[in-house]
Amino acid sequence: MTKTMRGNFRLETFWVPAATGEAPVYSIALTNDGDQPISDFTLCVSGPARIDPAASVEGGRLLVRLSNHAEFAPPPGFVLQSGETWTMKAHGMSYHPKHWTDGANAGYVVLADRSAVPVTVAPTLAKGDNAPLTRGAVVYPVPKVAPVTVSIVPWPEKVAVSGVIAPPAGFDLRSEVIEADAAAQAFAKLAQALFPVEGIVRSAAEGGFPVSLAVRDGFAPESYKIEFSATGVTIEAGTRTGLLYGLITLGQILRAARQYPETFTFPAAGEIVDAPALGWRGVHLDVARQFYGTAEVAQFLRILAWNKLNRFHWHLSDDEAWRVEIDAYPALTEIGAWRGHGLKIPPLLGSGPQMTGGYYSKAAIREIVALASSLGIAVVPEIDVPGHCYAMLQAIPELRDPDEAGSYYSVQGFPDNCLNPVREETYQVLETIFDELIELFPSKIIHIGADEVPLGAWSGSPMALARLNEVGGKAMADAHAARLNVVTNTHGADEIDGSGAAVLQAEFLARIQAFLASRGCVTGGWQEAAHGNVIDKTKSTLFGWRTVEASAALAGEGYDMVVCPGQVYYLDMANSQAWSEPGASWAGWSDPEKLYTFNPVEGWSDAQKRHLLGVQCCIWSEPMTDRGVFDRLVFPRLSALAETGWTLPKRKSFARFAALAGLMPILYGIYEKP
């Protein structure tokens, strides 16, 4: 247990960027607001900001650096008196901070008796930008006059409505077949959960307007048709999901007409005919860097459904944590799901000295998967291998080559974070894990990551080097061995094309993909899964995160592609380049308009487009300690992505979208303060 003492500590950090004309420097100041002096202590700080291992530190010493966790000591004999401040200046960052959430967001002091005391952390400030720091979703006001008379996001294929009736109190849903009844029940639960007091679904006794649901032949799986009259509405579709989407459209129209009757109407006649432009309309959520409880994930899924998004890519493991219960290996969650002072995984990304984290039990996963299925959403689990496995290897250290020496480092600063591709134990463990996952996820799409394997991976493993000598030759093996103990912190650290790491990873991927195919599964992977061109293209899906051009090239090679370029579709990227905006910008930045107007297949040939499955936005959670930051980064950009996936390019209009976006729900209800 973490002990505490009477006392107060305050941490302030300040960044001087090179653009100011000064040498870049990161200042860290600890103030003792308590009533006792302290000596023989260390200060532990976590980012996202990462101090470079080779940084020079004025006023202190860097003792430990594990990714964004850093431990500092003051000069020998230093005493921090009550009311005084100790300041260090670090010259050397693994990447230069660009936004206030890049800086330190958690810290604690370890005293001489080894007890840990949390500190209050102020947001990092930067020289040259004094704008107020922002959090909470940007408010998109509904205008007095909108470009359209009905509010629907994403915008349908055909809207031909006329006339006006008073907005109904709610809808009395009428269905006569099992599929229609299931859609009605799913919509009723969805509306109740998102808008609990609005009574969108209600009986005729409470004034519910008749809505008849009918299953008809001739509809594509997610398409639907709505017909309006003064006495009722009819929705037709070929599937439960099509009917649900029709009801969601109807619910959006009703909410807008009730809340903004001067702007929007409820039609008295006409029809809406609708179908999605793309089959894969996805959202990726990283729950390894920050943990989201089952209730949060469930509500997030409901918001996806309200946007007619149909894939939930659940990033369940990474260097920082393992989040899924596996019966065969309880240590994965006993050790890998928790961070804290003195634990195998230290505080990272905003977690303090106390034990924090969590994981999803199998019962919780079944609950989430069932909810998603009722909402027309397929859940795609990701276990990121062979890289990004620091947490997994802390839980099962036996997976390392017992004779492995030295270290290699990932681009995020984690040492020795890759599963060994030569050891048979690696495949025994992974096949057991994947078998348990397959039983939980009926989508039969298992994402295996395959991204950001460090250039020096396995360079100290005799087993790996022996195998590399066999398949790549002595020169390649010798060159790879020379990469041992080379600290890499830049975005070239994972550029492994043609390297020994790529050759070894290709063998690993071929075997894992063949195993998943034997279980009837499609293998998902980030675009690095194409290294070596060894996976079966007919049983794989790649996710192109680097550039549209790279995705196009892979599509041209015959890989089925989901397009999610980090420059635009990574929702952890900030809304602008301003320091006052939260998020990151290592890949770029994109405000809602930039994301909305972005063409994910610009320059693609017709042959390449035949391998386009769809689009996906990715929520990486490094900056998301503050849920107000989550709302600001995710909304309304999530809805902008939804419209790209659903609405034909010729039917898109950002002016219309901006007029309607304010009616869409957000997860935590935190809006920017005026």
pLDDT, position 5: 41
CA pair distance 241, 247, nearest whole angstrom: 10
pLDDT in tens, 281-294: 999 999 999 999 99
Residue with tokens 């500092």: 72
**Residue 513 domain-assigned (yes or no):** yes
Q: What percent of the chain has pLDDT over 90?
A: 93
586 lies in which domain range? 280-400+416-448+497-646
Task: Categorize the per-residue pLDDT at 301 as very low, low, confident or very high, splitting at 50, 70 and 90.
Answer: very high
- What's the structural domain count of the chain? 3
**Residue 84 domain-assigned (yes or no):** yes
One domain for residues 121 and 236: no
CATH of the domain at 328: 3.20.20.80
pLDDT in tens, 466-502: 999 999 999 999 999 999 988 766 656 678 888 999 9
Instruction: Give start and end residues of each alpha helix (H) in 289-447.
Output: 294-306, 331-334, 362-374, 390-395, 424-440
Task: Categorize the per-residue pLDDT at 513 as very low, low, confident or very high, splitting at 50, 70 and 90.
Answer: very high
pLDDT at 3 over 90: no
One domain for residues 360 and 231: no
One domain for residues 394 and 287: yes
Average pLDDT over residues 125-142: 93
Look at residue 502 and give its three-state secondary structure.
Answer: helix
pTM over 0.75: yes
**Residue 105 domain-assigned (yes or no):** yes
pLDDT at 371 over 50: yes
One domain for residues 90 and 176: no
pLDDT in tens, 327-337: 999 999 999 99
CATH of the domain at 53: 2.60.40.290
Which residues sit opposite 61 in a β-bridge? 73
CATH of the domain at 184: 3.30.379.10
**Residue 489 domain-assigned (yes or no):** no
Q: What per-residue string of b and e applies to 90-126 under the rule 16 or more CB within 10 Å gives b?
A: bebbbbebbbbbbbbbbbbbbbeeebbbbbebebbbb
pLDDT, position 54: 87
One domain for residues 363 and 421: yes
One domain for residues 317 and 383: yes
One domain for residues 437 and 313: yes
One domain for residues 270 and 316: no
**Residue 216 domain-assigned (yes or no):** yes
Q: Which of 252, 274, 296 is the last residue in one of the domains?
A: 274
One domain for residues 75 and 43: yes
One domain for residues 48 and 76: yes
pLDDT in tens, 221-242: 999 999 999 999 999 999 999 9
Residue type, 610: R
pLDDT at 384 over 70: yes
**Residue 468 domain-assigned (yes or no):** no
Average pLDDT over residues 341-354: 95
Of 449-458, 461-470, 491-500, which gets the smallest average pLDDT? 491-500
CA pair distance 617, 313, nearest whole angstrom: 10
pLDDT, position 302: 99
pLDDT, position 495: 81
One domain for residues 197 and 251: yes
**Residue 674 domain-assigned (yes or no):** no
Instruction: Report the chain's mean pLDDT, rounded to a whole number.
Output: 95
One domain for residues 285 and 249: no
**Residue 131 domain-assigned (yes or no):** no
pLDDT, position 26: 97
β strands within 443-521, DSSP E = 445-449
